[in-house]
């Protein structure tokens, strides 16, 4: 599968750092608007751009980008800057150098997962200039989730997307398995849904987020009680790229403040206040 990689930047060779550390540093070159072949070996004294074992980076790329040679998909946009699905505008990274140091300063894989899950810098860059709505942030988190599951003995077809409302049992962030954490709910890629609403990812890595989301037996917010949630649910049933979908959720939740209680009492119904 790796030879068909959309990224073309993976290998199963040995790495000089622990694999769960390498996976978070592999795509740092994209945060510096550089292609893999032009990437530095070290940034701020930290080894980067090392291969990710078990094909996890390739599989994560296939979740969000098509196979084959890429073509420019958005006219007049050939930048690593991500385009927002919410606004259609390029996302501006803030304090890029300082933020990059924050992502590189940890040597502990669990700390790296927590840093990436809450970081804003990688959310400002796409996986590829050819696919400007994708997100380096969520590509990396997905690659880490796949690698962690593979290292635990799971195959791709064993994996589920599990959802949990924040505050419910099982909703806590799990290192390398939580792929999105908002104030309202969390999403996990895991071989063990452990009783949570969940849907299988499928037989092979593919741009299937809308399909998987649509198969969830229960979604983690109240679509009947709030127009804002109905809009989000409807959009997620259309977005096929995994990293674009996860990034859209992050932006949507932040923009429309559904962190506030969203119920059937109508107090916040339809109150988009962006």
Query: Which pLDDT score, from 0 to 100, does residue 168 have?
Result: 62
Query: Which pLDDT score, from 0 to 100, does residue 10 have?
Result: 43
- With 0-12 CB in 10 A as exposed, 13-18 as middle and 19+ as buried, what is 41? exposed
Strands (E) located in 136-208? 160-165, 178-181, 185-190, 198-200
Query: Which pLDDT score, from 0 to 100, does residue 97 have?
Result: 62
- What is the tens place of the pLDDT at every residue in 83-121? 999 998 998 876 566 688 888 889 999 999 999 999 999
Query: Which pLDDT score, from 0 to 100, does residue 225 have?
Result: 87
Query: Which pLDDT score, from 0 to 100, does residue 31 have?
Result: 84
For residue 233, give the nearest of 245, 248, 246, 223 by alpha carbon: 223
Judge whether residue 262 has pLDDT over 50: no
Q: What is the DSSP string of 110-167?
A: HHHHHHHHH-SGGGGB-SBTTBTTS-HHHHHHHHHHHHHHHHTT--GGG-EEEEEETT
Measured distance CA(22)–CA(134) in Å, rounded:
21
Q: What is the DSSP string of 29-62?
A: HHHTT--GGG--SEETTEE-S---GGGHHHHHHH
Q: Averaged over 49-69, what is the pLDDT?
A: 91
Measured distance CA(174)–CA(33) in Å, rounded:
30
- What is the tens place of the pLDDT at every residue in 163-207? 998 766 556 899 999 999 998 899 999 999 999 999 999 999 999
Tokens of 130: 């050819």
Q: Averaged over 220-245, what is the pLDDT?
A: 94
Measured distance CA(138)–CA(60) in Å, rounded:
9
Q: pLDDT band at 1, cuts 50/70/90?
A: very low
Cβ atoms 118, 141 nearer than 8 A: no
Query: Which pLDDT score, from 0 to 100, does residue 96 have?
Result: 62
The residue that leads in pLDDT, 208 or 30, is: 208
Tokens of 265: 């009492």
Cβ atoms 18, 109 nearer than 8 A: yes
Query: Which pLDDT score, from 0 to 100, does residue 274 have?
Result: 35
Measured distance CA(143)–CA(147) in Å, rounded:
6
Q: Read off the pTM.
A: 0.85
Determine what percent of the chain is predicted with pLDDT higher than 70.
82
From residue 270, alpha-carbon distances to 223, 224, 258 in Å are: 11, 11, 10
Q: Averaged over 122-146, what is the pLDDT?
A: 95
| Average model confidence (pLDDT) across the chain | 84
Q: pLDDT band at 75, cuts 50/70/90?
A: low
The residue that leads in pLDDT, 169 or 125, is: 125
Q: Averaged over 17-40, what is the pLDDT?
A: 85
199 three-state secondary structure? strand
Angle between helix 227-236 and 242-256 (nearest 10): 170
Determine what percent of the chain is predicted with pLDDT higher than 90.
58
């Amino acid at each position: 599968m790796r030879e068909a990689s959309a990224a073309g930047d993976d290998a199963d060779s040995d790495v000089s750092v622990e694999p769960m550390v390498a996976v978070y540093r592999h795509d740092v070159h994209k945060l510096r608007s550089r292609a893999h072949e032009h990437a530095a070996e070290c940034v701020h004294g930290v080894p980067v751009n090392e291969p990710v074992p078990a094909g996890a980076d390739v599989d994560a790329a296939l979740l969000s980008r098509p196979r084959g040679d890429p073509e420019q998909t958005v006219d007049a946009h050939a930048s690593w800057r991500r385009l927002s699905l919410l606004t259609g505008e390029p996302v501006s990274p803030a304090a890029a150098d300082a933020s990059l140091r924050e992502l590189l300063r940890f040597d502990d894989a669990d700390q790296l997962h927590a840093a990436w899950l809450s970081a804003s810098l990688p959310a400002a860059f796409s996986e590829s200039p050819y696919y400007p709505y994708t997100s380096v942030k969520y590509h990396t988190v997905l690659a880490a989730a796949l690698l962690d599951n593979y290292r635990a003995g799971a195959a791709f077809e064993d994996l589920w997307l599990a959802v949990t409302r924040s505050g419910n049992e099982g909703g806590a962030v799990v290192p390398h398995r939580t792929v999105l954490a908002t104030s309202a709910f969390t999403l996990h890629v895991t071989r063990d849904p452990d009783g949570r609403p969940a849907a299988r990812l499928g037989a092979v890595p593919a741009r299937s987020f809308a399909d998987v989301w649509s198969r969830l037996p229960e979604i983690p917010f109240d679509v009947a009680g709030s127009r804002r949630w109905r809009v989000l649910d409807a959009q997620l049933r259309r977005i096929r790229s995994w990293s674009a979908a996860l990034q859209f959720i992050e932006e949507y939740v932040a923009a429309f403040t559904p962190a506030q209680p969203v119920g059937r009492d109508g107090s916040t119904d339809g109150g988009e206040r962006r």
